[in-house]
Amino acid sequence: MSEPRSVENVRDVLARLGVSGVDRITHIPDGARTAAEAAAAVGVEVGAIANSLVFVADGVPLLVMTSGGHRVDTTALAARIGVGVIERATPEIVRAATGQVIGGVAPVGHPAPLRTVVDPVLDTFDEIWAAAGHSHAVFPLTFAELVRITGGTIVAVD
């Protein structure tokens, strides 16, 4: 059985970028609708799940990679990154900006690079897990790899 094209795309990008966990993409048969479900599926703390959340910051898509144990304070984050307003992106904006759907947005594999913010709490884990382009697929990587492959800026999000 072949994997979804979005996962193949993410796998190709991860391999090209030299991410250590590319060969450990894990398929979750029932999917993971929440960070808690993803954490249970791979046997880690919920904080070790790197949620990929897409927002719109002053009209431009913004990818926020946050620990599964955190909520994003959009007002505080806007002040920290120097934008006026951060709002949750619609499913249509998420799809257009990432080529992926909500629940499966990977940190890479998008049609064009996205401004990315990375939650520093993720650095408290030796290994973190992120979506691999589909709600049924995740992969492990390190905090340093996440920052490197996204070109992200480390900023507190809560």
Domains and CATH numbers, the chain: 5-154 (3.90.960.10)
pLDDT for the residue 126: 97
Cβ contact 128:140 at 8 Å: yes
pLDDT for the residue 34: 85
pTM for the predicted model, two decimal places: 0.94
Query: Which regions of the chain are under pLDDT 50?
Result: none
Per-residue pLDDT tens over the stretch 56-92: 999 999 999 999 988 999 999 999 999 999 999 999 9
Residue 2 burial class via C-beta count within 10 angstroms: exposed 0-12, middle 13-18, buried 19 and up:
exposed
Q: Using alpha carbons only, give the angle 7, 13, 15 rounded to the nearest 5 degrees.
A: 100
pLDDT for the residue 29: 85
The chain-wide mean pLDDT, for the chain, equals 94
